[in-house]
């Protein structure tokens, strides 16, 4: 670990001002950043601790939506009665992530910005375009079982590991940002993370020094929400593939559908192709299969991760079937 200086921010404006100095980074729960610093994957020279900023509230908005402060912990967010009632997909995604201890520390802002679990990214002796632009991608031709099948480039095939962000994607959440000059903006969560292209080290549209202050959930759409995470062990493990869906049916026909995948791409992967294949079609396995085919049409495996394509199809089909059944039932 490199030596660094540290300061604790007392207000949001002060925090963004403090982080504008070169080499500075925010730290929230530290559950991802500290691990990466110990391995010298991240090498900030200055840390601005924003974990005590008064950004922990979860508040109802006049339009019926919900605003979650960036410093709300993953545990508190998952346990919030309004989240559990109106946005159950988010609670399900959060509690499927990490472990109880980590969720107690991890913040909503930090979760969105957590970095990939690609093992070569963690290994400073291995080439990795995300860590050291231009050094190559060791995962291609290496051990790539957990890697992406959609939206990849020859520069990087890493996935974004967040469960929470996948749920937020089908909820069409907006990320609230505060810039160093004090200006605020909102970005749709689907636009927040980027595909790797030639610049896998640039992972989001965040500008240098910009801070996440919160996430806004619009009023919940109609339909049944489900998050389904497939993993190698029952807990404390990232998704091989995950699926978030919101499905409404009307007399046996899907009236509206949203679907997103985790564990398959460099960002939470909303599948408009799947959604198009569902809306207006009968709530039946044939429809789900067609949606799964549409969702995976452009998927490519790299060897070890080939299985993810069929796994994603099957997981989507079953999750859709469960959601549709539940809406029909009541």
Ligand X SMILES: Cc1cc2nc3c(=O)[nH]c(=O)nc-3n(C[C@H](O)[C@H](O)[C@H](O)COP(=O)(O)OP(=O)(O)OC[C@H]3O[C@@H](n4cnc5c(N)ncnc54)[C@H](O)[C@@H]3O)c2cc1C
The answer to whether 120 touches 156, Cβ cutoff 8 Å, is no
Token couple for 127: 């080439």
Contacting ligand X (CB under 6 A), which of 26, 121, 192, 227? 26
| 329 SS3 class | helix
Residue with smaller CB distance to another protein, 17 or 34:
34
Q: Please tell me whether residue 41 binds ligand SF4 under the rule CB under 6 A.
A: no
Task: Look at residue 164 and give the partner it binds from ligand X, ligand SF4, another protein, none, a contact being a CB closer than 5 to 8 Å depending on partner kind.
Answer: ligand X
CB of 174 to ligand SF4, least distance (A): 27
- Using the contact rule CB under 6 A, the part of the chain among 31-39, 139-147, 190-198, 311-319 near ligand X is 31-39
Contacting another protein (CB under 8 A), which of 46, 82, 145, 194? 145
The interaxial angle of helices 307-329 and 285-295, nearest 10 deg, is 140
User: What is d(CA 317, CA 325) in angstroms, rounded to the nearest whole number?
Assistant: 12
Contacting ligand SF4 (CB under 6 A), which of 48, 83, 139, 164? 139
CB of 91 to another protein, least distance (A): 18
Radius of gyration of the chain (CA): 20
Q: Please tell me whether residue 207 binds another protein under the rule CB under 8 A.
A: no
Q: Please tell me whether residue 28 binds ligand X under the rule CB under 6 A.
A: yes
Residue found under tokens 């202050």: 213
CB of 115 to ligand SF4, least distance (A): 9
Q: Please tell me whether residue 105 binds another protein under the rule CB under 8 A.
A: no
- Phi then psi for residue 94, to 5 deg, are -65, -45
Beta-strand pair 174-178/269-270: unpaired
Sequence-separated (6 or more) residues with CB below 8 Å from residue 238: 117, 146, 161, 231, 263
Task: Look at residue 158 and give the partner it binds from another protein, ligand X, ligand SF4, none, a contact being a CB closer than 5 to 8 Å depending on partner kind.
Answer: ligand SF4
Residue with smaller CB distance to ligand SF4, 19 or 158:
158
Query: Which positions from 67 to 86 touch ligand X by CB under 6 A, shown as an x/- string?
Result: ---x---x------------
User: What is d(CA 105, CA 64) in angstroms, rounded to the nearest whole number?
Assistant: 28
Task: Look at residue 314 and give the partner it binds from ligand SF4, ligand X, another protein, none, a contact being a CB closer than 5 to 8 Å depending on partner kind.
Answer: another protein
- Using the contact rule CB under 6 A, the part of the chain among 104-112, 126-134, 193-201, 307-315 near ligand X is 104-112
What DSSP line would sit under 151-184, residue for residue? S--SS-------SHHHHHHHTT-EEEEE-TTS-E
- Phi then psi for residue 308, to 5 deg, are -65, -25
CB of 92 to ligand X, least distance (A): 12
Token couple for 42: 């991240």
- Calculate the CA dihedral of residues 232, 234, 236, 242 and round it to 10 degrees: 60
Q: Please tell me whether residue 163 binds ligand X under the rule CB under 6 A.
A: yes
Other C-beta atoms within 10 Å of 163: how many? 27
Contacting another protein (CB under 8 A), which of 119, 197, 218, 282? 119
Residues touching ligand X, count (CB under 6 A): 30
Residues lying near ligand SF4 in the complex (CB under 6 A) = 116, 118, 120-121, 128-130, 137-139, 156-158, 200
């Amino acid at each position: 670990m490199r030596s660094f200086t540290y300061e604790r921010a007392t207000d949001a404006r002060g925090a963004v001002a403090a982080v504008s100095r070169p080499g500075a980074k925010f730290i929230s729960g530290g559950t991802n950043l500290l691990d990466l610093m110990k391995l010298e994957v991240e090498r900030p020279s200055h840390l601005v601790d924003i974990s005590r900023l008064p950004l922990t509230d979860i508040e109802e908005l006049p339009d019926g939506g919900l605003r979650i402060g960036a410093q709300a912990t993953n545990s508190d967010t998952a346990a919030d009665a309004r989240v559990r009632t109106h946005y159950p997909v988010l609670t399900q995604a959060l509690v499927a992530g990490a472990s109880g201890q980590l969720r107690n520390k991890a913040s909503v802002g930090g979760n969105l910005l957590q970095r990939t679990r690609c093992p070569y990214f963690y290994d400073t002796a291995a080439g990795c375009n995300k860590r050291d632009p231009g050094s190559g991608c060791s995962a291609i031709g290496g051990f790539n079982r957990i890697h992406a099948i959609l939206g990849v480039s020859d520069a990087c095939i890493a996935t974004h590991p967040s469960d929470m962000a996948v749920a937020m994607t089908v909820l069409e959440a907006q990320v609230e940002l505060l810039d160093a000059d004090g200006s605020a903006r909102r970005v749709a969560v689907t636009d927040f993370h980027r595909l790797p292209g030639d610049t896998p080290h640039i992972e989001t549209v965040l500008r240098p020094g910009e801070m996440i202050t919160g996430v806004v959930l619009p009023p919940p759409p109609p339909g049944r929400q489900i998050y389904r995470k497939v993993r190698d062990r029952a807990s404390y493990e990232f998704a091989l593939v995950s699926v978030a869906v919101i499905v409404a049916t009307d007399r046996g026909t899907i009236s509206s559908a949203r679907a997103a995948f985790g564990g398959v791409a460099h960002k939470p992967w909303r599948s408009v192709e799947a959604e198009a294949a569902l809306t207006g079609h009968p709530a039946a396995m044939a429809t789900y299969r067609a949606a799964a085919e549409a969702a995976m049409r452009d998927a490519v495996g790299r060897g070890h991760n080939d299985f993810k394509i069929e796994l994603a199809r099957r997981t989507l089909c079953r999750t859709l079937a469960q959601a549709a059944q539940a809406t029909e039932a009541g």
